[in-house]
Amino acid sequence: MLKAKAIVMVFLCGHLMVQAQTDNGMLRLDEFRNARKRQIIQIPEVNGFQTLKCDFHMHTVFSDGHVWPAVRVQEAWQEGLDVIAITDHVEYTPHSEDVKVNHNRPYELVKDAADETNIVLIKGTEITRNTPPGHFNAIFTGDLSGYIEDRETNKKDKVAVMKAAEQNAFIFWNHPGWQVNNIEGSYQWIDFVDELTEENVLHGIEVINGFGLHKKALDWCVDKNLTVLGTSDIHNLVAHDYNLGDHVHRSMTLVFARERTAQSVREALEAGRTVAWASKYLAGKEEHVRNLFNACVETGPRFLLKNNRAYYEIKNNSDLYFELELQSGDGTKQITLFPGSSQIINAVDGEEALEYKVVTAFIRSNKNLVVNIPLN
């Protein structure tokens, strides 16, 4: 069959015919089809901001990815993402024997599909210097055709990064802990990035990249006031790399934005209103992780007093996952808040609050969010 327009079309119709139907000797077996739907990732408003689910780092056949760009929009729609950037490598195009090198093409090819599915598409690319310093993502870029010149130059210079800066791109350092054990000098705060930061050219760091949580990078974001990012850096199919379901989602950035627009995302990124998210784990600046927790978790009123213990229901109104360990107070020792679920906790009568460490939420490399659960 000819199916070039298939991806967009399926978005427009979520209807599944459950029964096999006979039609002129043709039995339609739509009962085995995957349902077409956009799964909403439930996260309440955080201090009046929408929580946008964003992935600013992904690849396609236009560099070393395994899919046509349209698949990235399709995956994003189904998984419930709001904002994506396709960021193929400028300097690394292993399919170039078959796929014409054109860094503007992935964006061009999927702009319509993104528009039609209400996905905010941001133009971007990955600038792939040798390690160290390694790779940088530039998003909110302009024309990418000129970037390719850098390919032949010294793989460690700043030229391509500065070109992105000229285009007023938002630039972040990718997976700084990548190959930490294999490449000398990697995973250090090096002069290269120090200079970029001083010059206000570097705006953020990937604290989460795919299945890696780069804890030291979180400290650098906090100490140098850079924006915390989480990305999938997906090359393969998302469903082949991630065991999707329950609490497992692709790694991404939660952006607390005024509106679901590119402009609002840019404003929020510059203001640093983000939390990086990797399935069970959150990493970000204390203020934002705390606000996020408070928006998601709610403790009901005391519903029982028995044997001098007061009982409460604690609800997780989000699709995030939180694991809590008691720090102070006489109450339930450990609480696991699975997505969209609640637990019963208890405390000694008269206890006004319990203090918990959220062991799945990091605010520094060696520090977890500590929250106060008021009881009343």
Is residue 296 classed as helix, strand or coil in its secondary structure? Answer: helix
List binders of a copy of itself among 98-157 (CB under 8 A). 98-100, 102, 105, 109, 115-118, 128, 135
Q: How far is the CB of 200 from a copy of itself (least distance, A)?
A: 26
Q: Rounded CA gap, 280 and 278, in Å? A: 6
Cβ closest to a copy of itself, residue 70 vs residue 164: 70
DSSP-derived secondary structure for 328-356: ESSB-SEEEE-TTEEEEEEEETT--EEEE
Q: Rounded CA gap, 269 and 276, in Å? A: 12
Counting contacts by CB under 8 A, is residue 187 touching a copy of itself? yes
Q: How far is the CB of 38 from a copy of itself (least distance, A)?
A: 5
Counting contacts by CB under 8 A, is residue 27 touching a copy of itself? yes
Counting contacts by CB under 8 A, is residue 185 touching a copy of itself? no
Q: Do residues 43 and 319 touch, judged by C-beta distance below 8 A?
A: yes
The 225-264 site mask, x for binding a copy of itself (CB under 8 A), equals --------x-xxx-xxxxxx---x----------------
Counting contacts by CB under 8 A, is residue 71 touching a copy of itself? yes
Cβ closest to a copy of itself, residue 4 vs residue 168: 4
Counting contacts by CB under 8 A, is residue 333 touching a copy of itself? yes
List binders of a copy of itself among 271-330 (CB under 8 A). 278-281, 300, 303-304, 306, 311, 313, 315, 317, 323
Total chain residues near a copy of itself (CB under 8 A): 117
Cβ closest to a copy of itself, residue 69 vs residue 272: 69
Q: Do residues 86 and 60 touch, judged by C-beta distance below 8 A?
A: yes
Counting contacts by CB under 8 A, is residue 40 touching a copy of itself? yes
Counting contacts by CB under 8 A, is residue 42 touching a copy of itself? yes
Q: Three-state SS across 130-183?
A: CCCCCEEEEECCCCCHHHHHHHHCCCCCCHHHHHHHHCCCEEEECCCCCCCCCC
Is residue 238 classed as helix, strand or coil in its secondary structure? Answer: helix
User: Which residues, in sequence order, are CB contacts of 147 under 8 Å at separation 6+?
Assistant: 90, 103, 125, 127, 160, 163, 164
For tokens 């046509």, name the residue: 68
Cβ closest to a copy of itself, residue 70 vs residue 257: 70
List binders of a copy of itself among 147-176 (CB under 8 A). 174-175
Counting contacts by CB under 8 A, is residue 358 touching a copy of itself? no
End-to-end CA distance of the chain: 64
**Segment lying near a copy of itself (by CB under 8 A), choices 86-94, 140-148, 195-203, 286-294:** 86-94
List binders of a copy of itself among 190-229 (CB under 8 A). 209-216
Cβ closest to a copy of itself, residue 13 vs residue 350: 13
Q: Rounded CA gap, 351 and 355, in Å? A: 11
Among 52, 56, 59, 163, which residue interacts with a copy of itself (rule: CB under 8 A)?
Answer: 59
Residue 330, CA distances (Å) to 308, 327, 346, 375 in order: 12, 9, 9, 12
Q: How far is the CB of 3 from a copy of itself (least distance, A)?
A: 4
**Segment lying near a copy of itself (by CB under 8 A), choices 4-12, 153-161, 264-272, 288-296:** 4-12
Nearest 5 degrees, angle CA 15-CA 18-CA 24?
100
Neighbours of 365 (CB within 10 A): 16
**Segment lying near a copy of itself (by CB under 8 A), choices 60-68, 159-167, 197-205, 222-230:** 60-68
Is residue 23 classed as helix, strand or coil in its secondary structure? Answer: strand
Phi, psi (5° rounding) for residue 192? -50, -50
Q: How far is the CB of 166 from a copy of itself (least distance, A)?
A: 26
Cβ closest to a copy of itself, residue 80 vs residue 167: 80
Q: Rounded CA gap, 145 and 241, in Å? A: 31
